[in-house]
A and B are shown apart, each in its own frame.
Chain A
Amino acid sequence: MSRNDERYLLQALEFEGVLRACLYRYTRNNSDVDELLQEVYARLLTAGASDDPEVRSVRAFALTVARNVAFDWLRHRQVVPIELVADLEALEVLDEGEQIEEIVNSHQELAMLVKAIQGLPDRCRQVFTLRKVYGYSQKEIALRLSISENTVEQHLTKAARRCAQALFDQPVSERRSMLFDRFRKRKRPNVQSE
């Protein structure tokens, strides 16, 4: 089994919603959550590259990292309301207990994705469709739609961010399954005889 340094991060993407919820308790605002989440992911990458022993529960580990990142952030802001601290102490337990393993099937995942794509401006959606459904190159899309390659690039950039949001940044109750099955190391589906 190859030990690549992305492994903790790849697993953590699976419960991005939980990490966001955890960070939100400290920041109480979403743009700070985005900020801190990136730092959490960066630390998971660094941890994946270190020689430390393999983390047993990536979920528990990632939540600890998230809390540390949040504490650093609070310390940096210097002012920490007392009731917030008390609140956080109480939440320590809650985070660990939050083992919600809801499975959303691949159809639902697709539906969420299509819904997100439909939220894009028309031109952006068309560029995305030609690229991802039909596999056209960026150059071919530019020719077909009579727009510059630069514009194609801009549309795809926007679409890529939207896709990541649709797939990862979901409320915990809308977890998807299929995407992450591929990262699970050992699967033991039911036996099917020859």
Chain B
Amino acid sequence: MSRASDISDAAAHWLVRLEGQTTPQIWDSFQEWMDQDPRHRAAFIRLRVAWNHVDLLKNMRPVDGTIDADLLATTKINPSSIADRGLVPVQGSQRRRTEELAMPERRRVFAIAAAIAAAGVVAWFGSYHLGWKSYETGVGGRQKMELADGSTVDLNTNTELNVRISGSRRDIMLARGEALFHVAHDPNRPFYVTAGGTVVRAVGTEFSVRIRDPEHVDVLVAEGRVAVGAPGTEANFENPTLLATAPKVSAGEAASVRRNSVSIHHILSTDVTRKLRWTDGYLAFEGETLDDAVQEFNRYNQRQITITDKSIVTVKVGGNFRTTDPDSFTAAVQHMYGFQVQVGANNGDIRLSAGGQPP
């Protein structure tokens, strides 16, 4: 066996070991191993990226809550049918889905049996995983919708969300972007949001989740309380012990979730409202830096703003603006601070610089 293979093997072993029971000693010897050789770290990162990505297979969990260790066996699933159909049906109307769920058990069994008879096992496999529904907004887009359980969701700009409501749980996969959830109270059907490697569990509450990158997610709670599992931690909240010990974020708190860490801070209720103004199509600033404000606008617009002078990035800004109207914003800072605004002729991109004369 070559040394490369040994390193990969050791890296895989660490990855799996850290998912199990971790003690400070194990963690220390892991760090020691990581520091021994940059190849160790590189091999670990490669496996970690793959391993986290594989979590997308959670989409395959049957809607009825049954557990089958052989779900992926060759006799049950044909990779080429996945290649054609995928696991998350993008088509299909919400109403039809609700009807199917409301169908009496016997009729459902009959319907499935009929489907098998009509189209063979491959089609049956497709229907087996039905129940996921996808929603998407483009840059500058925004959408409000009601789910089958009575919960409402606001999708912010450039967001993709998959939803599955079953009798025992409600699953949301936030693939990218940001969403605000107003969760209908139902203690028998916990509401799970997974975003990157982060898991958020609620039963009835209002909170928003934003993916900054796969291992950095922001959670803001406006009402009630949610449990949060950081990437890299055991976050199977169906396990009562893990649920009890998980970090909780309450109304008026925001959490910044990163690998193995959840940092929670309190925010003023007026700030909660302000940070959720995007649901009405507004950005409200109150002392944010110019740099942060610009990054916000760039999320909502194809036309990007760039700050060309480092000296002005920390200038504090305030005011309410339409998310899709960067010109009003740049006009405001031009007026307030005398900054120079240049708009590109072909793409409309905006450059902000300190400008010649002070106001």
Contact = CB atoms under 8 A, between A and B. Distances in A.
A191 B51 contact: no
Given A110-B87, A161-B8, A192-B141, A115 B17 contact: no
A40 to B, nearest CB: 8
A137 B20 CA distance: 7
Given A31-B2, A164-B50, A194-B142, A156 B72 contact: no
B55 interface: yes
Interface in B17-57: 17, 19-21, 37-39, 41-43, 45-47, 49-51, 53-57
Interface residues of A, number: 73
Contact of B20 (A34, A44, A138, A187): A138
A145 B69 CA distance: 9
A41 B46 contact: yes
B312 interface: no
B236 A136 contact: yes
B79 A42 contact: no
Interface in B109-148: 137-142
A42 B42 contact: yes
A46 interface: yes
A160 B140 contact: no
A133 B140 contact: no
A42 B37 contact: yes
A133 B77 CA distance: 14
B46 A164 contact: yes
A117 B72 contact: yes
B interface, size bucket:
35 or more
A114 B87 CA distance: 11
A155 to B, nearest CB: 9
B82 A110 contact: yes
A35 B3 contact: yes
Interface in B206-220: 213-214, 216
Interface stretch (A6-14, A51-59, A86-94): A6-14
21 contacts: A38-B8, A38-B39, A39-B39, A41-B45, A105-B86, A111-B80, A117-B72, A118-B77, A125-B70, A132-B54, A133-B61, A133-B71, A138-B19, A153-B16, A164-B8, A168-B46, A188-B139, A189-B138, A189-B158, A190-B139, A193-B141
Given A132-B54, A157-B12, A192-B140, 10 more contacts: A35-B3, A42-B38, A42-B42, A113-B54, A118-B79, A132-B55, A145-B69, A156-B19, A157-B13, A181-B176
Interface of B: 2-5, 7-9, 12-13, 15-17, 19-21, 37-39, 41-43, 45-47, 49-51, 53-58, 60-61, 67-74, 77, 79-80, 82-87, 137-142, 158, 176, 196, 213-214, 216, 234, 236, 238-239, 242, 281, 302, 304, 324
